[in-house]
Amino acid sequence: MKVHVFCALPEALVSPLEAGVLGRAREAGILDVEVHDLHELSQDPHHKVDDCPYGGGPGMVLRVDVVAHALQTVFCMEAWKVKEKHPVALLTPQGERFDQKVARTLASEETLVLLCGRYEGVDERIREHLAGFEISLGDFVLSGGEVAAAVIIEAVARLLPGVLGNEESLAEESFAGQLLEYPHYTRPADFNGWKVPEVLTGGDHGRIREWRRQQAIERTRIRRPDLL
């Protein structure tokens, strides 16, 4: 899978892309992430990517001509045509809530393009003409989309064949179905009087499966009843 990230602060992505699951996926050639610095691709003499908002107001706004030129330069086509060939997502608090279902959909793509906002916001014409859809991590605001991009890339990359050592674990994770995941325990079996449930140490795999299912249902009922 190939991921293109267009952003104004590429250094924010260096560590997440080199460590852990993403680092291993890239080394194995399963995932290819290319981060494009909007400052370097800007035609402005001073490599600016933002400007004051028309009509006044606080903050700065990411310029549509900068993003359009960046897309055109990388993909060698008119910027507004990129979304016709590849999924182009604008990362914004106003977008569709990102969840495991969206991650699975994106994981089925060969190429993914992420446009990271920054500053006060982005020129509305980026949303209207350059992005194919919008994604939000939740009802909160970040200083920029770089952190959100790292989260989305990891969530998607974990679903790619060959990325995880044990792909069976994907089937039992939270949000893989309609339930949160059951509790996990490991050694020691007794720490400070806090004991591992006896059913998990008894060796009866049928009882273990049923216990885990009941625990998942109860945990979901208490924490996320909306999923049931």
- Tell me the pLDDT tens digit for each residue of 126-167: 999 999 999 999 999 899 999 999 999 999 999 999 998 666
pLDDT of residue 22: 96
Phi-psi region of 134 (alpha: psi -120 to 50; beta: other; left: phi over 0): beta
> Does the domain at residues 178-227 carry the CATH identifier 1.10.1270.20?
yes
Closest CA to 200 of 218, 221, 222, 182: 182
DSSP 179-207: SPPPP---S-SEETTEEPPHHHHS--HHH
Neighbours of 39 (CB within 10 A): 16
Domain positions in the chain? 2-157, 178-227
CATH number given to 2-157: 3.40.1280.10
pLDDT at 170 over 60: no
**Two tokens, residue 201:** 């140490």
Distance of CA 81 to the CA centre of its chain: 24
Partners of 3 in the β-ladder:
33, 112
Question: Crossing angle of helices 20-27/146-157, nearest 10°?
Answer: 60
178 band by pLDDT with thresholds 50, 70 and 90: confident
C-alpha to C-alpha distance for 15 and 18, rounded to whole angstroms: 5
Q: Chain-wide mean pLDDT for the chain?
A: 93
173 band by pLDDT with thresholds 50, 70 and 90: low
Neighbours of 65 (CB within 10 A): 16
120 band by pLDDT with thresholds 50, 70 and 90: confident
C-alpha dist (Å) from residue 223 to 99, 106, 184: 16, 27, 17
- Tell me the pLDDT tens digit for each residue of 36-51: 999 999 999 999 999 9
